[in-house]
Amino acid sequence: MMIQKIRGTRDILEMKIINKIINATKKVLHSHCFNEITLPILESADLFKKTLGETTDVISKELFLVKNTHEENDQICLRPEATASTFRSYILNKPIQNPWKVFTYGPMFRYERPQKGRYREFYQLNIELINAKSCLYDIELISVLNKIFKNELKINDFQLEINYLGESHDRKAYKEILKEFIFSSANVPEKIVDLASKNILRIFDLKEEECKKFLSCAPLLTDYLSTESLENWNTIKNMLDILNISYTSNPKLVRGLDYYNNTIFEFTSSHLGSQNAFCGGGRYDDIGYNMGINEKIHSLGAAIGIDRIALILEQINPAELITNKKYGFLVLNEEYNIEALNLISELRNYLPIELYADKNSLKNGLKKADSEKTAGVFILGDNEYKENKLMYKNMNSGEQNLISFSEINAFAKSLL
Ligand code: HAM
């Protein structure tokens, strides 16, 4: 039986949209002085267990562990995300640049139930600012993302939801209040009771109607922030208002990973169905403590879900993404192969040229060019060759031109 691909993985046979996303993102990030880095796909499983939280789905259910026969003590996994790895890299490499503003992209792995927009191997472009304390960096990060999505990728109908988780003492006090609310209420949904003792903030991510209904009058963290946290939260919202960045403040927004504090956010799109977040991130000032670093290293970042953005772009702008402007070159007689190769090589200095060498008749060649939506075809047949000329047929208008070999460069330039 033919060997199948692994469930939740994909063969990506067209990289045009993905490259467009990556290039647009890189362009904006470089203009904000972010550096590109590359990190390993294999990491110690402990790195994620210590930072993402043992009770999160990513750690408790979705980690891809790799059989490690060489270094028995170290459990290795395929990285499920890149924030913990970037922070690890900062600690080990001690870069001079501070804040360390970096990005990386590549595959991440989570053993999730595959569906539209959710894969076991998926692609993220991950952006981090490590050792960045000022809340101006929160604004810098959100505005850079906003710029990528709105100005570069022309996604106009997305939503930005933000929330503020406060410092650990804010959350500690609030969790008690929330517990009190849950355990003093009647008819508490089972899932809420279950999570209340494991990871109480995650109750706000439960999708069941009865849970949502129960939580409709739950106390909200942003109502219980310390004065300092509240000021910071208000400053961030004010700055977003001043910059005209639209957002919804969602006090029930929580993230699936445990390392966050203060600002968190998600960009969502109605083009995506149930997996509607195409970017998520926030601050993780305390992550170092979980890795045994005895100091607070203020940091923040976000990951862009490349696959989900590709799904959005396919829907909002299919024509622009699918049309691939290219030209054809049709050789109608093998005797002219050498001449044809020289001419193609000149044309390719200016235009993307597809060679149609196996189409031995003009009719077949043009049919093929038409089926591939070629913008125009250069034809080298007997009559043309005798006159040291090439025929050019514009496939949209049907117009034909005879071009001397000596004018080929100028003609190619005129098509740009
Ligand atoms: P995350 O919310 O787990 O955050 O993932 C970020 C984005 O990756 C999601 O919004 C989604 O677009 C995409 N994504 C996640 N899982 C899948 C999947 N199974 N299939 C397809 N796309 C997926 C993080 O990973 C954090 N490390 C973000 C961050 C960076 N926080 C601070 N710095």
CA of 29 to the centre of ligand 1 (A): 18
Strand ranges across the sheet with 376-380: 353-356, 327-331, 376-380, 389-394, 400-404
| Ligand 1 neighbourhood includes 199 CB (under 6 angstroms) | no
Q: pLDDT digit string (tens) for 151-172? A: 999 998 999 999 999 999 999 9
Atom of ligand 1 nearest to the CA of 255: 2
Nearest CA to ligand 1 atom 25: 81
State the average pLDDT over residues 347-373: 91
3-state class (DSSP) for residue 76: strand
| Ligand 1 neighbourhood includes 62 CB (under 6 angstroms) | no
- Spell out the long-range contacts of 406-409 with Cβ–Cβ below 8 A and sequence spacing 24 or more: 408/343, 408/346, 408/347, 409/346, 409/349, 409/350
For residue 335, the number of C-alpha atoms closer than 13 Å in the C-beta half-sphere is: 5
Atom of ligand 1 nearest to the CA of 277: 10
Identify whether the C-beta of residue 239 lies closer than 8 Å to the C-beta of residue 139: yes
Determine what percent of the chain is predicted with pLDDT higher than 90.
Answer: 91
Instruction: Pick from 120, 255, 308, 312 the residue to mutate for probing ligand 1's pocket: most ligand atoms within 8 Å of its CB.
Output: 308
pLDDT of residue 413 exceeding 80, the answer is yes
pLDDT of residue 47 exceeding 90, the answer is yes
Q: pLDDT digit string (tens) for 242-252? A: 999 999 999 99
Nearest CA to ligand 1 atom 13: 305
CA of 90 to the centre of ligand 1 (A): 21
Nearest CA to ligand 1 atom 33: 301
| Ligand 1 neighbourhood includes 303 CB (under 6 angstroms) | yes
Instruction: Pick from 111, 122, 131 the residue to mutate for probing ligand 1's pocket: most ligand atoms within 8 Å of its CB.
Output: 122
pLDDT at 325: 84
| Ligand 1 neighbourhood includes 118 CB (under 6 angstroms) | yes
CA of 59 to the centre of ligand 1 (A): 14
pLDDT at 71: 64
| Ligand 1 neighbourhood includes 50 CB (under 6 angstroms) | no
How many other C-beta atoms can be found within 10 angstroms of the C-beta atom of residue 381?
Answer: 17
Q: What's the CA gap between 320 and 47, in Å, rounded? A: 42
Atom of ligand 1 nearest to the CA of 112: 19
pLDDT at 358: 84
pLDDT at 337: 92
CA of 41 to the centre of ligand 1 (A): 15
pLDDT at 113: 96
Q: Which residues pair with 65 in a beta bridge?
A: 77
CA of 237 to the centre of ligand 1 (A): 23
**Which residues fall within 8 angstroms of residue 9, CB to CB, at 6 or more apart?**
119, 120, 121
Atom of ligand 1 nearest to the CA of 267: 10
Q: How confident is the model at residue 323 (pLDDT cuts 50, 70, 90)?
A: low
Atom of ligand 1 nearest to the CA of 302: 30
| Ligand 1 neighbourhood includes 301 CB (under 6 angstroms) | yes
Q: In whole numbers, what is the pLDDT of the chain averaged over residues? A: 94
3-state class (DSSP) for residue 390: strand
| Ligand 1 neighbourhood includes 110 CB (under 6 angstroms) | yes
Tokens of 143: 């505005």
Q: How confident is the model at residue 188 (pLDDT cuts 50, 70, 90)?
A: very high
CA of 205 to the centre of ligand 1 (A): 15
Among 82-86, 124-128, 185-189, 321-325, the range scoring the smallest mean pLDDT is 321-325
| Ligand 1 neighbourhood includes 262 CB (under 6 angstroms) | no
**CA angle at residue 88 from 198 to 54, to 5 degrees?**
15
| Ligand 1 neighbourhood includes 141 CB (under 6 angstroms) | no
